[in-house]
Structures are given as C-alpha cells and as structure tokens.
Amino acid sequence: MDLKSYLVEKRETIDNALKAYFEDSEKGPSRDLFRAMKYSLFAGGKRLRPILCIAGAEAVGGDGGKVLPVACALELIHTYSLIHDDLPLMDDDDLRRGVPTNHKVFGEALALLAGDGLLTEAFRIMSSDGIVQHMAPATALQVINIIATAAGCAGMVAGQVADIQSEGKEADLELVEFIHRHKTGALISASVKCGAMIGGGDMEALSAIALYGDNIGLAFQISDDLLDLEGDPGVMGKEPGSDQKKGKVTYPGVLGADEARCIQEKLVRDAVTALDVFDYRADPLREIAWYIIKRKK
Ligand code: GRG
C-alpha cells in the first residue's frame, strides 16, 4: 500500500471535519478565544492520533467515517496538551510546528484558555447527540472513558508531571518508560483502541490492537527523543537539543542512542506481529508502525 497517499487522504478528511466544527466561530464575542484555538489546531500537525483512530476502525473491518467525531476530539486533546506544554511555566518553547507557540502570539492567559477550550470541546463533541448515530450509547461511554483515562491523571497528565519533576535528575529505565508511556504513549494507544472499538472489533481483535497501540505509543516517543538528538531543524520546525538543555529524561539519555534504537525497533516489530490476526485492511497500521522509526518530524 502507498502510505503517503493514505496519510494525505486521511489528513484532508480530518482537516475538513475539524474546520466544520469551527465554522463561524470567529464572529461572536469569543472570537479571540477561537482564533487562538484554531491557530494551533491548524498549524500543520501530522494528525497521527486521528489517523490511527480511523485506521484502527478499518483494520477490524469497520467504517473509518464513523469514528470521525472521536478522531477530531483526539486531535483537540493533543493540541491542548502541546499548547500547555509550550507555556513558560512548563517547557517554555518559542516554536511549535515551525511557527511561534500559542502564547507567543496570543499571550499566556489566552493560550492557557485556548488549551482549556480545546480539551473541553473534545468532550463536548464526544458526548453530543450525533455520536450515538455512529455507535451504541454503551460504546460511546466506554470510548469516552478510555480517552479520559489516557488523557488524564492516569495517563498524559501523570506523565507530564513525572517529566517535569524529573528534569535534571538521574533517571533509570523504569522512570523513563513510565514518563514516555504516560505522557505520549497513552493517548496514541487510546486512539487506535477506540477506533477499533467503534469499528466493531471483537475481544481478540481489541487485545491485538491494544498491544499494537501500547508498543507504537512508546516507540513514537523514543523517535521524538532521537529526533531531538539528531534531527534536522529545517524539517522538524524546531531546534534539536532542547531535551538535553532542559535536562529531560529520555531513552538515549538513559541507554544511549544505539540501545534506544534497538528497543524502538523491537517495539515496532512486536506491534506489527500483533497485527497478524488481521488481513490487508490492517496494512495502514503496519505501515504507520514502520513510519514511526523512519519519521523525520
Ligand atoms: C500539558 C497535560 C500536558 C501534557 C503535555 C504531549 C505532551 C504532554 C507534551 C509534549 C511534549 C512533547 C514534544 C512530547 C513528544 C511527543 C509528542 C507528543 C510530540 C508531538 O506530537 P506529534 O509529533 O505532533 O504528533 P504534531 O505537531 O505532528 O501533531
């Protein structure tokens, strides 16, 4: 399969769906808030999480179109996390996705609130009437629960706290794995899992997808560590070396780059093996797993 055209096609579908949620949003008294939300949402993200959600549904023979509201909600949650992560009180970054970070353009208060708005809007979308046209109410509830768990204090928020608290400290493999699985892996894994649930996957399919998701989630953050060490700033849209400057706990920092690459490759191999229970419809998931190793941004 041609992964590049698959990603382009899905990205366009997701972008159109996202735009529809924000139509006319800049006309009312909250226009500045919506401008700030849209600034980061449409700043050129890869849309990895929503694409994984769609590909998860397709892998189990489901209709990728039915997951679109949840796929969009995942991108809203991801974008909120980036805006907050870039704030001076957290990572204090000036550039994201190749453009000035949200607070650099809109100020800290509006950036904070734009993140809050995106997070809350995600849960509004996932709990709105339209969602049960695509899935049973019990499935919708389960999906919302999985995503809230992955994004909240048992997932991404916990990982972010551990990441901040361990800055500049000695770390071991257990700590770096905790940070990476929670900060980044949890939402990635939930994306593909929820897609497969909405797509109607049975227990065997869902446990295979869960294993795939957990492995690629961690592998993705290891690529991020490696890119920060040796990536091309022109392609990444930000300067490398920031992890080291901030004393971040990373896989290459704990194990060295070669060992980190070995672990990453094993994670991806195991992820792809977990997909053996599926036919060609899981090919996009297989290709995405290999892309995680090869990605340049
Ligand atoms: C603020 C609660 C809270 C959490 C923040 C996601 C996160 C937790 C911090 C971001 C720090 C960071 C750069 C982590 C590396 C992995 C990662 C999430 C990279 C960005 O995701 P991509 O590559 O971004 O999917 P795009 O821009 O393509 O959407």
The dotted CATH code for 3-294 is: 1.10.600.10
**For tokens 């600034």, what's the residue?**
39
Closest Cα to atom 19, ligand 1: which residue? 224
Q: How far apart are CA 60 and CA 62, in angstroms?
A: 6
pLDDT at 226: 95
Q: What letter represents residue 179's amino acid?
A: I
Residue 178 has pLDDT above 80, yes or no: yes
Q: What is the pLDDT of residues 116-162, one digit of tens each?
A: 999 999 999 999 988 888 899 999 999 999 999 999 999 999 999 99
Atom of ligand 1 nearest to the CA of 44: 27
Q: What is the pLDDT of residues 28-45, one digit of tens each?
A: 899 999 999 999 999 999
Atom of ligand 1 nearest to the CA of 96: 27
Residue 219 has pLDDT above 90, yes or no: yes
Span from the CA of 49 to the centroid of ligand 1 (angstroms): 11
Q: Give the closest residue to 61 by CA, choosing from 287, 279, 288, 297.
A: 279
Q: Give the closest residue to 56 by CA, choosing from 177, 185, 265, 211.
A: 211
Q: Which among 79, 184, 229, 250 is the best mutation to test ligand 1's pocket, defined by most ligand atoms within 8 Å of the CB?
A: 184
Contacts of range 164-167, beta carbons closer than 8 Å, 24 or more positions apart:
164/90, 166/249, 167/246, 167/247, 167/248, 167/249
pLDDT at 295: 81
What DSSP line would sit under 14-82, residue for residue?
HHHHHHHHTTTTTSSTTHHHHHHHHHHHTS----HHHHHHHHHHHHTT--GGGGHHHHHHHHHHHHHHH
Q: How far apart are CA 251 and CA 263, in angstroms?
A: 9
Span from the CA of 86 to the centroid of ligand 1 (angstroms): 10
pLDDT band, residue 89 (cuts 50/70/90): very high
Q: Which among 49, 82, 221 is the best mutation to test ligand 1's pocket, defined by most ligand atoms within 8 Å of the CB?
A: 82
Domain definitions of the chain by residue range: 3-294
Cα distance from N-terminal residue to C-terminal residue, the chain: 22
Structure tokens at 99: 């453009």
Neighbours of 1 (CB within 10 A): 10
Q: How much is the average pLDDT of 179-203?
A: 98
Q: Which among 183, 187, 243 is the best mutation to test ligand 1's pocket, defined by most ligand atoms within 8 Å of the CB?
A: 183
- Which residues line ligand 1 at a C-beta cut-off of 6 Å? 45-46, 48, 78, 81-82, 84-85, 97, 156-157, 160, 183-184, 221, 224
Span from the CA of 228 to the centroid of ligand 1 (angstroms): 13
